């Protein structure tokens, strides 16, 4: 209860009315958040129901909706704008069209730090649309939620406090071991309304408002004491240490962006956002075609992995293969970055000589 209240305060949810539950990870938290939305907005009646989210949304949302019984035609995966954020005009147009066709829009899912780019959707304006049309607003902050600890992150996450439910993943940017995800809700009674069941063999164990049984708040009956590690980490290191670690990641990504802009061989595809930046090696003077550039950058990722020096995965943005650098490890230094790019330059020259 203590750690849940910490999270409620961090994200601007009312402590008295709000609630939450620590779960295995972001996938379970998204599943539970959408389960509550289905119950409260649809009373579990799926016919004609429609849910909306941007095309940069994590695949766990697709999986959760499938588990909850939603068919493909009930899902609106909407295009993002050039900054990889949900287009509000596309969202409102889709809602209006579905209403005109007699369907039941019930939920919008926004992102607070996408896995690909660290992008945050326009949450404040999204909340206005949700209120206007009576939709549940769920925010997936599994990756970016930790950004709330620093000033830049709080600014980027503006509007998250207006959500109905939020997914957070402390085993990402709160530096916790697996498994500890978290679902936060504005009204804890809705968790009870969705998940509470009282079979005869559990009635002697019914919880109270002062001491709830957390199995009434979610899917699991038997649960590990996930909150303990988070509680002990904060107590041992202090919140200031966590804040400094988050700030370090944000600033390091911005340092990388500055470095890339000074070298014409590198092309930034998505700028630094919540400690993530996407780029590719693209020497302009060689006039490589897109296939060649993709193959070159796949090679760079493969070589850096083979050296076991850095983890630099690839992803696809705007139909381009990019290198994704995620800098949330507080032990990563500027010297590590410089060495990584030195190696990448060497690999690139070796590849281009072939």
Bond preceding residue 179 cis, omega within 30 of 0: yes
Q: Which of 95, 28, 24, 37 is nearest to 61 (CA)?
A: 28
Last residue of a domain, one of 211, 237, 263: 237
Residues 219 and 78 in one domain: yes
Residues 231 and 286 in one domain: no
Residues 85 and 169 in one domain: yes
**Is the model's pLDDT at 199 over the cut of 80?**
no
Q: Which residues contact 15 (CB under 8 A, 6 or more apart)?
A: 5, 8, 9
Coil, strand or helix: which one is 140? strand
Q: pLDDT of 236-286, one tens digit each?
A: 999 999 999 999 999 999 999 999 999 999 999 999 999 999 999 999 888
The fraction of the chain above a pLDDT of 90, given in percent, is 87
Mean pLDDT of the chain: 93
Q: Which of 314, 344, 309 is nearest to 326 (CA)?
A: 314
Residues 84 and 203 in one domain: yes
Last residue of a domain, one of 218, 237, 256: 237
Is-contact 145 169, C-beta < 8 A? yes
**Is the model's pLDDT at 99 over the cut of 90?**
yes
CA 216/CA 27 separation, integer angstroms: 19
Look at the pTM and tell me if it is higher than 0.85: yes
- Segment 189-204 shows an average pLDDT of 82
Degrees, nearest 5: CA angle 150-154-156: 120
Residues 183 and 35 in one domain: yes
Q: Which of 277, 281, 320 is nearest to 299 (CA)?
A: 281
Last residue of a domain, one of 203, 237, 271: 237
Residues 272 and 308 in one domain: yes
Q: How many residues does the chain have?
A: 354
Q: What is the count of structural domains for the chain?
A: 2
CATH of residue 331's domain is 3.90.1150.170
User: 200 is in which domain, residue-wise?
Assistant: 2-237
Residues 327 and 219 in one domain: no
Q: pLDDT of 24-79, one tens digit each?
A: 999 999 999 999 999 999 999 999 999 999 999 999 999 999 999 999 999 999 99
């Amino acid at each position: 209860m203590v750690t849940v209240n910490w999270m409620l305060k961090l994200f601007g949810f009312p402590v008295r009315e709000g609630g939450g539950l620590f779960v295995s990870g972001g996938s379970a938290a998204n599943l539970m958040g959408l389960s509550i939305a289905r119950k409260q907005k649809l009373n579990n009646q799926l016919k004609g129901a429609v849910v909306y989210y941007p095309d940069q949304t994590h695949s766990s949302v697709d999986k959760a909706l499938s588990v909850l019984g939603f068919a493909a035609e009930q899902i609106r995966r909407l295009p993002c704008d050039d900054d990889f954020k949900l287009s509000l005009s596309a969202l409102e147009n889709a809602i209006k069209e579905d209403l005109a066709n007699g369907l039941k829009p019930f939920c919008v899912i926004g992102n607070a730090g996408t896995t690909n780019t660290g992008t945050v959707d326009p949450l404040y304006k999204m909340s206005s649309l949700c209120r206007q049309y009576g939709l549940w607003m769920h925010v997936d902050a599994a990756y970016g939620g930790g950004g709330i600890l620093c000033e830049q992150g709080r600014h980027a996450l503006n509007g998250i406090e207006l959500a109905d439910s939020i997914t957070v993943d402390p085993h990402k940017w709160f530096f916790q071991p697996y498994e500890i995800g978290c679902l936060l809700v504005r009204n804890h009674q809705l968790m009870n309304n969705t998940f509470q069941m009282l079979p005869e063999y559990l009635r002697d164990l019914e919880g109270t408002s002062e001491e709830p049984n957390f199995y009434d708040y979610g899917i699991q009956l038997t649960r590990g004491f996930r909150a303990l590690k988070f509680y002990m980490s904060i107590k041992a290191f202090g919140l200031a240490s966590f804040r400094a670690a988050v700030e370090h990641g944000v600033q390091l990504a911005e340092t990388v962006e500055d470095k890339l802009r000074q070298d014409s061989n590198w092309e930034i595809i998505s700028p630094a956002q919540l400690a993530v930046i996407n780029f590719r090696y693209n020497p302009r003077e060689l006039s490589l075609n897109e296939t060649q550039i993709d193959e070159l950058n796949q090679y760079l990722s493969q070589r850096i992995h083979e050296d076991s020096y850095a983890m630099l995965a690839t992803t696809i943005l705007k139909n381009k293969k990019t290198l994704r650098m995620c800098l949330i490890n507080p032990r990563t230094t500027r010297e590590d970055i410089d060495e990584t790019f030195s190696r990448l330059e060497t690999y690139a020259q070796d590849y281009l000589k072939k």
